[in-house]
Structure 1
């Protein structure tokens, strides 16, 4: 019985405006390129299994933002979503990436949409996984989080309550049908990085800056409606932050998007990789060649297409 070769994954750093950006890269140069933008409180390690599955056929690149993972930011770095997007923009320049499909998850949504808005010609397509851009996609818990701004008394202390191990773990296991399918490695590594010196302060700064993303929702929606990028939406229906109404909301501006709602939670890749990876493998070549457009609409609810 033959065994499929596992792709080599390189682990590198590149300097971007004083930030030493760590990233993972696999796949042949010249293949359709997927730029993987991670969420909170994770980093590029959340894409390790996806890279192993798709790395023989596609080029996958996953950076860590400042304040996350192995990336090293200088003292005095301003932690805002605008600055994260600045660093990712510098990162794609440093690697010479002039065209890519964006994978946006959680924080990757506001980072990726800022990048897309700045460089629309570079975006060959979007893969949206529990990355919200619509008011309809905000749960009550998410709205409480967004209400934490620098002017609110006790906001920093409230935001810091999210940065402990039980909360980190719950983001992975919450909403899953079978928590035994979720490896403990992800939340354990996330918490390791959260507990490093200065990291919790950086995360609190970002939490208090999150309201700037919601203010930009109308602008991003207008961008989506104007540019109509080929889009694959995969969404865990039981996400306590971003319910599935946020996935469906994209269809107002992207009526030809391919939509799949899965019976899982926020970190959908953790237990639904066997379902999500084939969807990505099917979508990427079509988006890259400009064929995932009107008339190509697919939709599935749960695990079975209909």
Structure 2
């Protein structure tokens, strides 16, 4: 399922997906940017087609190591990164660890902090439940409520989100719990942000319940060369929820 459009003459863009999603979350971005950028959208260890690789909690540092190893295998010495949610967790660690590698950084529905104690308890119980029960229709609806704004879910014109992601989320394996625990239990990376030299665009949906706007403010304040775009028409997944506005803005920023 990993995407690599494979044009060595084009500037590479590494697209890092959210927990519960997969590289297909970037289909719209890849289609709109065809011929302008080389897109590489891999799967994280313990997720999507790699779900069976994990038999214990997959940490953000392990995901960072994995992505940097991929970049090195591809022979990329300069790239941009677009990260969604946990993809942003990994992206900031990559950009802080190898600042010379990352030229532009786009963070959507992301943060650099750890979860609150309340969220750790809530989401930890949810992970335990789907590990035991699988992704039942009730739990799929819960995940959709995390990933997408209520105004989007309640909009009859956005039935594509219901149809597409209800189906895809229902296909997820209970073994995703190993990766999910790594997200829920992640350590704060706020102290790493001042090391980032990449020009950074932070996109924050005002309806994001999982990573509220105040968490984006923390990144904006700490990353030296950052701009913050607050968008009212999205929650946690702006690139899917309002693709007509978000995708052109991302492509212009990357260019």
Q: Which bracket does the TM-score occupy, shorter chain normalised?
A: 0.7 to 0.9
1:236 aligns with one of 202, 205, 212: 205
How far did 1:62 drift?
0.3
How far did 1:28 drift?
3.3
Counting matched residue pairs gives 246
* 2:2 counterpart SS class: strand
**Alignment pair present for 1:274 and 2:247:** no
**Alignment pair present for 1:180 and 2:157:** yes
**Larger relative contact order (C-alpha < 8 A, sep ≥ 6)?**
2
CA deviations over 1:21-52 (Å, ceiling 9, x no partner): x4102263232221100001011011111111
**Alignment pair present for 1:146 and 2:120:** yes
* 1:70 counterpart SS class: helix
**Alignment partner, residue 118 of structure 1:** 97
For 1:255-274, what aligned pairs fall within 5 Å after superposition? 256-263=225-232, 264-274=234-244
Where does structure 1 lack aligned partners over 5 or more consecutive residues? 1-21, 286-306
Task: Provide the rounded CA distance (Å) in 2 between the counterparts of 1:30 and 1:133.
Answer: 33
**Alignment partner, residue 183 of structure 2:** 210
Task: Provide the rounded CA distance (Å) in 1 between the counterparts of 2:33 and 2:102.
Answer: 20
**Alignment pair present for 1:35 and 2:14:** yes
Distance 1:107 1:179, change over 3 A: farther
Distance 1:162 1:268, change over 3 A: farther
**Alignment partner, residue 157 of structure 1:** 128
**Alignment partner, residue 13 of structure 1:** none
Contact 2:46 2:178 in 1 (8 A): no
Distance 1:83 1:59, change over 3 A: same
With the length of structure 2 as denominator, give the TM-score of the two structures. 0.83
* 1:231 counterpart SS class: strand
Task: Provide the rounded CA distance (Å) in 1 between the counterparts of 2:51 and 2:183.
Answer: 22
1:85 aligns with one of 19, 42, 64: 64
Contact 1:171 1:267 in 2 (8 A): no
- Specify which structure has the higher proportion of helix: 2
How far did 1:277 drift?
1.4
How far did 1:228 drift?
3.4
Distance 1:50 1:75, change over 3 A: closer
How far did 1:156 drift?
5.7
* 1:71 counterpart SS class: helix
* 1:61 counterpart SS class: strand
Where does structure 2 lack aligned partners over 5 or more consecutive residues? none
Distance 1:134 1:42, change over 3 A: same
CA deviations over 1:58-91 (Å, ceiling 9, x no partner): 1111001122222364474653322222222221
With the length of structure 1 as denominator, give the TM-score of the two structures. 0.70
Q: Any runs of at least 4 consecutive aligned residues in structure 1 with deviations exceeding 4 A, and if so which?
A: 75-78, 158-163
